[in-house]
Structure 1
């Protein structure tokens, strides 16, 4: 259901759909599952109907005659799954359930919106080892990747095809092929994020190559695509050869 990160309120996961709607049943559970206050009960209240109308008017600019898709962008019910609603509705529902809960939900949501790293750490402390490993891989990849692309941008490399060529030369020298070939070998969709599907070692190798590329571009004072591509190719080649040489040496020792 969710690609949007979930929130934790009173040890209860509040899940979100990919379009950012909150599952009100999770908010209800966080309040202790009070009787006669289910999302369906709240949705029938005149005050809730007025709230929904005001929200739809604000979002669409229309005071009536909303389409089904416009209404679904604010709330909908999925049988057997729950009631999903705009975050503003979720906050209003939390206030209806429990004023103290409403404050807690607002605080957690504000921390989420401000990208509070401590909130992420609190969530991960409850997650399993696999989830923590996935986040660690993503964080490491994101930090080094950002440094690499920022360096390319600062040195006059154009986003798009030139970025892709510099990225692919790293993949080729370190992992043995460009992104397209690596995805095909792993049976990934064409639009899949390759780095989400690399293991820890592969990400570490790519990160090392990109970090070394940044260092080389700085030392050589590279400018433009040609020079930055050459620096990236040289650095990735060094890392790729070092990995290959170490693997070969270990195989020789085993014979």
Structure 2
């Protein structure tokens, strides 16, 4: 699930690399009668935006394709670096530029009220996923804090995570990523379905309580408790 923005009542998509859909910005501007006949992203890029994209790529020391990328097919369009998105919004309309600037600033700063606004517009399925994902992050952060307080260090954190993944997902992270053809740095929780997210979060809650109650300490013993908690949760039908 990619993060989304909402501008003038229109959903504006972002991709996995944080690039913003210029087509969705154009759609938002058109719906609000802010384009005044100005160009769609492809024509704007060819006629006016190319120089700015080249300048930005040079200054960030990346390829132009990292700054602005066209995607074909359903859900495609032109996705661009946020600075390009702001430049395009400014070209379309000063009023739109202000709107995009404000929303993106809130998005980047982690303004929790913006997340709530996005959730209000989500489908029931998306709202359920978001609720489980948020609860899962809280459970993960609490477990990590408990592990640190109980002497877990270095590789021990990854060992505890894998100890939870094995009973629930069928393997440690590297094995799951290889099996699914995912990059090694993939956040597996973003790929989990609702049941897997729920079981993982519950296993982390149970593991935290067991470690705290038994004053379990050290990498190996904490990993054992994580595995035991996940195995118990995995067998719940």
Q: TM-score band, normalised by the shorter chain?
A: 0.7 to 0.9
CA distance in 2, matches of 1:73, 1:176: 33
Q: 1:189 pairs with 180, 185, 193, which one?
A: 180
CA RMSD of aligned residues (A): 3.4
Deviation at 1:54, TM superposition (A): 3.0
What's 2:88 paired with?
A: 93
2:32 is the alignment partner of 1:38: no
Q: 1:9 pairs with 7, 10, 29, which one?
A: 7
Deviation at 1:171, TM superposition (A): 5.5
Deviation at 1:90, TM superposition (A): 0.9
**Where do 1:105-254 residues align within 5 Å?**
105-160=100-155, 162-170=156-164, 175=168, 178-179=171-172, 189=180, 191=182, 193=188, 196-200=191-195, 203-232=197-226, 243=236
What's 1:23 paired with?
A: 21
- The Cα offsets for residues 51-102 of structure 1, whole Å up to 9 and x where unpaired, read as 3343233122xxxxxxxx7121222445674333221111011111111111
Rg bigger for which structure? Answer: 1
Count of residues in correspondence between the two structures? 226
TM superposition score normalised by structure 1: 0.71
TM superposition score normalised by structure 2: 0.76
CA contact under 8 A between 1:7 and 1:14: conserved in structure 2?
A: yes
- In structure 2, the gaps of 5 or more residues are none
SS state of the match for residue 63, structure 2?
A: helix
CA contact under 8 A between 2:38 and 2:92: conserved in structure 1?
A: no
- In structure 1, the gaps of 5 or more residues are 61-68, 248-255
Q: Which has the higher contact order (CA 8 A, sep 6+)?
A: 2
CA contact under 8 A between 1:138 and 1:196: conserved in structure 2?
A: no
Distance 1:141 1:101, change over 3 A: same
